[in-house]
Structure 1
Amino acid sequence: MSILAILLVVVSAFLHAGWNILGKSNQSSGPAFFLASSGAAATILTPYLIWFLLTIGFDALPNAFWQLLFFSGICQMVYLIGLAYAYKQADIGVIYPMARALPVLMVGYGTFLLGYELSAQQWVGFLIITLGCLFVPLTRFSELRVRAYMNLGVLWAVVAAIGTTGYSIIDKEALLHLNQTASHLLADQYSSVFYLGMQFWAMFFPMMVWVVVSGNRQELSNALTIIKPSAVAGVMMATTYGLVLFAMTMTENVSLVVALRQISIVFGLLMGIYILKEQWYKTRALGVGLISIGLVLSLM
């Protein structure tokens, strides 16, 4: 990865931890918080989306791009819903590392199946990151056993991790289609912002459908009552993933971007302690240390 790509992802990771703190502090709203934040981000970016399509032509993008965008939106919805319900069950110091670190191996394996190469050292780094993830939810080392992870909070964190894995792999492929179509007219960063806006709409509409079909229509009115913090989170979400998408255009293997994003775990834990007054344990310190070592090995 280039130095610029690394800096973009690190800044993105800090912002990502920040909007998760907002999400945790509004956990009583559940999916309403993420419904409102994704809708706010999509609305803000809509004028840009119209300009981009007018520039390249409304019929210029291939069907494969729209299909990938649709499935990415579904994966984003799975991620946000999993995160919302996970935060109802446990501390951000438990949920955030689980949801962020688990996709490292998943995305690594997925990109390997797609034909991208990873060195043995990078695989070792991915394994160490995942091992660190296992220690973070514990309060004592004696709790390191299977039943320590058998709770609803961790289950929903795994659901969120599956969503992250899906959209991380899909977005890289969708950006390739988009850049191939628009690169003769606009630079890749313009395409990244366009994809970002389209992705927010792609996650907003499925989430709306899910809320209605699941009988949680109360979440719609809840979303309106927390529109201000949700709008702030939406802007942070847009900025965060926009930087990641731009970094993806500069990196061949998306699994390296996903691995580096896990530095947000450190940011998330520290914010949880100093802002939400959550507890710090030796097990979490070890987990953070392992995650940091794994990141260094993955990017060397």
Structure 2
Amino acid sequence: MSGFAILLLCLSTIAHASWNLFGKKGAEAGLSFYLIAVVASCVFYVPLLAFGRHWFDVLPASFWILVFFAGIAETFYFMGLAGAYRFCSLGLSYPLARALPVLLVPIGSFLIFHQTMSISALLGVVCVVIGMLGLLRFDQGSRHKGYMIAFALLAALGTMAYSMIDYQALQLAGEYLPDIPKLQIALFYAACQGIATIPFLAMILLKRSERQKLITTFRLYRNTAIWAGLVMAITYTLVLFSYMFVTNVSYAVAFRQLSIPIGVLFGVVFLKEPLTPRIAIANLIVLLGLILVVV
């Protein structure tokens, strides 16, 4: 990865852990919280579509198909996060949801895009996974362990899917818009993907109880959800922009796991979650893995 891509990913990890902290605070609201957050992020993005209004006729149908499926993948990701945060702490659910894609994305990239990783990068991935396993504190909230793992896996699968789709869509857009700055393409795609996600998230409103929950969520968590959405938009833009400077999406996904120790730290500082020696050592192993991925 280039130094610029690494810088973008470092900034995105701080932002990602930040909006997930907001998400944990609104865990009781479930998907209603994320629906409000995504709508807020789209309010940030939609004006940017005006700059790319002429691109709608230029981009091929395959690009819009990718956008459609990216919206579905994002929805599964939010479903997984909402469920995981409901049943467990940020320091446990966030690392698990973030670690699994490090395994899944390289496998998917190899099978679909025929992309491979170097030996050092593969060792780094192994270190990240070992570190994440060390972070699993099943002694806390063990009654809901099965639910938490299931939802974290759902979030991980969603992450794997949208990461690979995003990368492919941005490469395709770059081919059809070679003279357009990469940042503009990233912002345009982020806006399209956010809009594509809203209808799928809004399906929860088919249930009357969820409509009532949305009203309650807006009243109780409005500011938190809106802030989460705005930080989410910044995070996603940084990640998408970085994808245009890497040759293998697996490296970017692995390096983004720097957000895991940051998320654990946020849980300790802001949510008063305990920090044990096992957690500290596991995070050091994660950092070692990230270094191996980058070098």
Query: Is TM (by shorter chain) over 0.5?
Result: yes
Q: Please say if 1:204 is aligned against 2:198.
A: yes
Q: Please say if 1:218 is aligned against 2:217.
A: no
TM-score (norm 2): 0.94
Displacement of 1:213 in angstroms is 5.9
Q: Secondary structure at the match of 2:115?
A: coil
CA distance in 1, matches of 2:102, 2:143: 21
Equivalent positions of 1:247-258 (< 5 A) are: 247-258=242-253
Alignment check: 8 A CA contact 1:83 1:160 kept: yes
CA distance in 2, matches of 1:149, 1:133: 19
What does the per-residue CA deviation read over 1:96-153, in whole Å, with 9 as the maximum and x for residues that have no partner?
100111100100111112111211221121111111111112267xx9xxx9994211
Runs (4 or more) in structure 1 with deviation over 6 Å come to none
CA distance in 1, matches of 2:13, 2:34: 18
Q: Secondary structure at the match of 1:250?
A: coil
Structure-1 residue corresponding to 2:7: 7
Alignment check: 8 A CA contact 1:31 1:219 kept: no
For residues 132 and 75 of structure 1, do their structure 2 counterparts lie closer, same or farther at Cα, with a shift above 3 Å needed? same
Please, which runs of 5 or more residues in structure 2 have no aligned partner?
none
Q: Please say if 1:266 is aligned against 2:264.
A: no
CA distance in 2, matches of 1:241, 1:260: 15
Q: Please say if 1:227 is aligned against 2:215.
A: no
CA distance in 1, matches of 2:42, 2:172: 21
What does the per-residue CA deviation read over 1:61-89, in whole Å, with 9 as the maximum and x for residues that have no partner?
11100111111111111011110111010
After superposition, the CA RMSD in angstroms is 1.9
Alignment check: 8 A CA contact 2:138 2:145 kept: no
Alignment check: 8 A CA contact 1:259 1:298 kept: yes
Equivalent positions of 1:33-52 (< 5 A) are: 33-52=33-52
What does the per-residue CA deviation read over 1:196-238, in whole Å, with 9 as the maximum and x for residues that have no partner?
1111111111110244269633333234323322111111001
For residues 2 and 50 of structure 1, do their structure 2 counterparts lie closer, same or farther at Cα, with a shift above 3 Å needed? same
Alignment check: 8 A CA contact 2:14 2:259 kept: yes
Structure-2 residue corresponding to 1:158: 153
Alignment check: 8 A CA contact 2:26 2:225 kept: no
Alignment check: 8 A CA contact 2:84 2:152 kept: yes
Q: Secondary structure at the match of 1:217?
A: helix
Equivalent positions of 1:3-82 (< 5 A) are: 3-54=3-54, 56=55, 58-82=56-80
Q: Paired residue for 1:92, among 80, 86, 90?
A: 90
CA distance in 2, matches of 1:67, 1:84: 26
Alignment check: 8 A CA contact 1:124 1:294 kept: yes
Higher mean displacement: 192-201 or 206-215: 206-215
Q: Secondary structure at the match of 1:162?
A: helix
Equivalent positions of 1:186-201 (< 5 A) are: 186-201=180-195
CA distance in 2, matches of 1:279, 1:210: 34
Displacement of 1:175 in angstroms is 0.5
